[in-house]
Amino acid sequence: IGNYDFAFYWYFYQDGSIESEVRLTGCNATGLLSGDDRETGYSETIGPGHKSMLHQHVFNCRLDFTIDGETNTVREVNLNDVPYGPDGYNPTPHAEVTDQNLNPHGNAAYVERTRFERESDAQRMTDTHAGRYWEVVNEDVTNDATGEPVGYRLMPKAGTNTAFPMQPGSSNAKRAGFATKHLWVSQYDDGERYPAGDYPNQHPGGVGLPAWTDADRSIVNEDLVVWYNMCQTHVSVPEDWPILPAKMVSFKLEPAHFFDENPAIDVPPEHAIKDIDKWKTENQEGMELEDD
């Protein structure tokens, strides 16, 4: 019998970023082995006569963004390299190519932004090789310092998100279809709250996010919901038994052209805060509050 404990943390940082983290601990589901048998692959041996099954945990975060209003748009950002010379180079958003020897040393790179137009465009996987992340922006509101749309970035945590393997037509694929992608974007609907549908244990499948996004609604300058999956794959080792050290999955929301500068630049140093607290403690007796 396995009994997991999931701890959910939200961190609010002074630079305006927000981090969501899930910690997994508790007891793994285990099984018995005969004699000196060992297993690997579907299960892993964690001790004499003792195995623990390969398993995964999928956590879906429903993020109802309102970036300076309800008309938001999502863009995907990928890192691209530049071939030698101008061939294959995408000049957008840069100036037109004029130098025939554009990348003589072979070390140039640029980021490419792709705006999602419809729900079918926004069913995506993470890609650490491309440094992939997503931006939720308000194209009607621009940053005073840069002229760029105000927004927030959804930054996956590298190395903590895996795919959810399943065969098409399987029970998992039907009833947990939302887990086939790391990112979904849908037009807001008050009735669309649970990515696997309202009663995932009591229906044959085909509901939830995959069914909703079949409508292929517009997601440009709309009231949007971003759905992000965090998938933890657990390959057990003896050190996970009998109590599992916490495994962690997370993502971060970072401001992008939302502020004119680093909002944490004027945060007082820690010693100054402690000095103020100490002064208040020493002087709170005898202090009288005056009415305005």
pLDDT in tens, 164-173: 888 988 988 8
pLDDT above 70 as % of the chain: 90
Q: d(Cα 49, Cα 47) in Å, to the nearest integer?
A: 6
**230-258 average pLDDT score:** 96
Phi, psi angle pair for 54, to nearest 5°: -60, 135
Domain 3-281, CATH class in plain words: mainly beta
**132-158 average pLDDT score:** 97
Q: Which two tokens stand for residue 85?
A: 């010379």
Sorted by where each begins, the domain ranges of the chain are 3-281
pLDDT at residue 282 in the model: 77
pLDDT in tens, 84-102: 766 655 656 555 655 555 7
pLDDT at residue 192 in the model: 97
> pLDDT category, 206, cuts 50, 70, 90?
confident
- Residue 241 burial (10 A CB sphere; 0-12, 13-18, 19+): middle
Sequence-distant (≥ 6) Cβ neighbours of residue 215 within 8 angstroms? 119
pLDDT at residue 98 in the model: 57
pLDDT at residue 70 in the model: 96
Q: d(Cα 122, Cα 209) in Å, to the nearest integer?
A: 12
Evaluate the CA torsion angle 59, 60, 66, 72 in order and state its sign: positive
pLDDT in tens, 38-81: 889 999 999 999 999 999 999 999 999 999 999 999 999 999 88
pLDDT at residue 36 in the model: 84
pLDDT at residue 15 in the model: 96
Q: Is the peptide bond before 195 cis (omega within 30 degrees of 0)?
A: no
Q: d(Cα 39, Cα 33) in Å, to the nearest integer?
A: 8
